[in-house]
Chains A and B, each alone.
Chain A
Amino acid sequence: MKTLKRISRMHRIFIVQELKRMMEYKGDFIVGIIGFLFAQANNMLFLWLIFRQIPNLAGWSIKEILFIYGFSLIPKGIDHLFFDNLWAVGHFLVQKGDFDKYLTRPVNTLFHVMVEKLQIDALGELLVGIAMVCITLPSLTVEWSVQKILLAVLVIPFATLIYTGIKTITAAIAFWTKKSGNITYMFYMVNEFSKYPVKIYNSFVRNIITYIIPFAFTAYYPAEYILKGENPLFNIGVCVLISIVMMTLGIIVWNKGIRAYESAGS
């Protein structure tokens, strides 16, 4: 309990610090947000152009597909917003020896790295995702129950953890290889598959995004339960389980990696 309190306090302090930092460079901050909104609008336009031609896909209507797409942006956006700094580990923190400073401080290194930066661009992603879910839901016929609402909300932090876990594992590889930014990128980009119904892929791709790089659990499977009420045990239960496995694996690899960290000459 005490550590939890300390963690949330530290988190708040880092975020406040980060917001102050952004205010130091107002122009950059504003342009960043505008740029991101443009990018998202572009994505939406592209989707609309494609789905205008296709009334349904693997048994999913256009509205349902837009719901899945929107839902996928929520965990992705949360991870992007809060834990984006993990990229820096693989890109330069380890290679340049800048990781040293985290090790000299009495704070868990993974936690420290994760919460040190706030990626405000991600708000665009997050807002677009929430908007798409809110717009598509009323026109879909979904049977709601208390259990379903609870599970739909509960699954979001776990889906986020899938992103964070995969980023942690791939970032920690840098402790051995010095650089792992491209490895993180390769794994991370697999999430693009998760924006569409998994059934449209062949079994090879399907198995990969379900069991190996389990991004399918960040959108499609939860959506299958939310929209069609199918198989909550698998669609939600396995999502929770697999996200915990991913994050645990991340922490284990990270802690092993720290012992292999070699710093850089100075």
Chain B
Amino acid sequence: MIKVENLRKEFKKTVKEPGLAGSFKSLFHPKSERVVAVNDISFHVPKGEILGFIGPNGAGKSTVIKMLTGILTPTSGTCTINGKNPTENRKSYVKEIGVVFGQRTQLWWDLPLRETYGVLKEMYEVPDDSYKERMSFLNEVLELEAFITSPVRTLSLGQRMRADIAASLLHSPKVLFLDEPTIGLDVVVKDNIRKAIAQINEREQTTVILTTHDLADIELLADRIVMIDKGSNVFDGTISELKSRYGRIRELHLETNTKNAEKALGYREHFHFSDDDLKVEQEGSSVKVRFNSDTVSVSDMLAYTLKMVNVKDISVKDADIEEIIRRLYRQGV
């Protein structure tokens, strides 16, 4: 369905010395250097899959998405959707895709929402009868009815996002790109939007590429994750693969009356944990211990803990994906 092969993007960046004098100097003797934003990224997405595309800020996610949506021209490499290539025939390529940038709207700001759909219908040449059918479907899934006659500038962020997603789906695209579709939304709206995405994906086999910083989006929606950092692909696989590959982080919660539990417990000295494999936090009587269960087994940790301090209550749980990703973002891979 989607094939991304050896995608690379370089930007030219003017190097300036600091201050007004530096800017002035650069006006006459511009110095520039090439910055590699995306370096040799490849992945495939089969039809109907929801792909979570993640990475820390500045990793090059947006640059990749912009190349895949025909906005930026790659320095080298190709991306194709059903054999169509945006650099060769942008117009026929973008007919197959729908795009939502959470930070920007593509709706006509000054006009009632309905008007935007009218123009997009013409732009994408959607026939009258399928337009009607489509609108009633999108209405049902995204609940647009309540504000479809309001000018776009008066919509709340949640309404606007739903309206934007509907706009991107009007022409029944085969692939939907969602760049941070839940940014700045409250929990209820986030939930609704996730449900709508899942519903559309299931009903129409729409392939979805989703970038987000809210890992709940990924856990609830994504079949697979592609993670990039510093412009390169660092992980490609399912969530369970991610969990098993990058160490089994477990969380130990305990209640104790020991004042300085970390010192009293002395995990690091006893088990020889490396810095990344252990983290202890204490707040009053409650202590949270994150550790890598590949280094030390859960039963060893439990037995040792119970021996060292006076424990009132104790529990162990799987660390969530957020913890894994946090570790990966912080240290690189």
- Chain A residues engaging chain B, CB cutoff 8 angstroms: 6, 9-10, 13-14, 17, 20-21, 24-25, 97-98, 100-101, 103-108, 258-263, 265-266
Contact = CB atoms under 8 A, between A and B. Distances in A.
Contacts of A6: 125
A261 B119 CA distance: 26
Interface residues of B, number: 32
A221 B111 CA distance: 43
Contacts of B71: 100, 103-104, 261, 263
Interface string B44-77: 0000000000000000001000100111110000
A116 B282 CA distance: 59
B122 A13 contact: yes
The 4 tightest CB contacts between A and B, nearest first, are A259-B73, A103-B71, A106-B91, A106-B95
Contacts of B317: none
A100 B111 contact: no
Contacts of A97: 104
Task: Name which of B62, B71, B108 has the most chain A CB atoms within 10 A of its CB.
Answer: B71
B119 A24 contact: no
B91 A261 contact: no
Contacts of B151: 24
A266 B104 contact: yes
B82 interface: no
A108 B115 CA distance: 21
A13 B119 contact: yes
A262 B11 contact: yes
B31 interface: no
Contacts of B111: 17, 20-21, 24
Contacts of B125: 6
Contact of B115 (A17, A100, A263): A17
B323 interface: no
A261 B72 contact: yes
B123 A105 contact: yes
B170 to A, nearest CB: 12
B104 to A, nearest CB: 7
Contacts of A21: 108, 110-111
B90 interface: yes
A263 B71 CA distance: 8
A17 B104 contact: no
A189 B62 CA distance: 39
B106 A17 contact: no
Contact of B122 (A9, A20, A100, A266): A9
Contact of B103 (A20, A261, A266): A266
Interface in B100-131: 101, 103-104, 106, 108, 110-111, 115, 118-119, 122-125
Interface string B80-97: 000000010011101101
A14 B119 CA distance: 8
Given A106-B92, A259-B87, 20 more contacts: A9-B122, A14-B119, A20-B111, A21-B110, A24-B151, A98-B104, A100-B71, A101-B104, A103-B69, A103-B94, A104-B70, A104-B94, A104-B97, A105-B94, A105-B123, A106-B95, A107-B91, A108-B91, A261-B71, A266-B104
Nearest to B108: A17
Contacts of B124: 106
A178 B81 CA distance: 30
Contact of B106 (A14, A101, A259): A101
Nearest to B96: A106
Contacts of B123: 10, 105-107
Nearest to A17: B119
B252 interface: no
Nearest to A107: B123
B221 interface: no
A103 B70 contact: yes
B213 to A, nearest CB: 12
Given A13-B122, A266-B62, A20 B11 contact: no
Contacts of B103: 266
B99 interface: yes
Interface string B134-149: 0000000000000000
B101 A100 contact: yes
Interface string B284-298: 000000000000000
Contacts of A259: 73, 87
A107 B95 CA distance: 10
A211 B126 CA distance: 46
A106 B115 contact: no
Contacts of B110: 21, 24-25
Nearest to A262: B11
B138 to A, nearest CB: 18
11 contacts: A17-B111, A17-B119, A104-B94, A105-B123, A106-B92, A107-B91, A259-B87, A261-B73, A263-B66, A263-B71, A263-B72
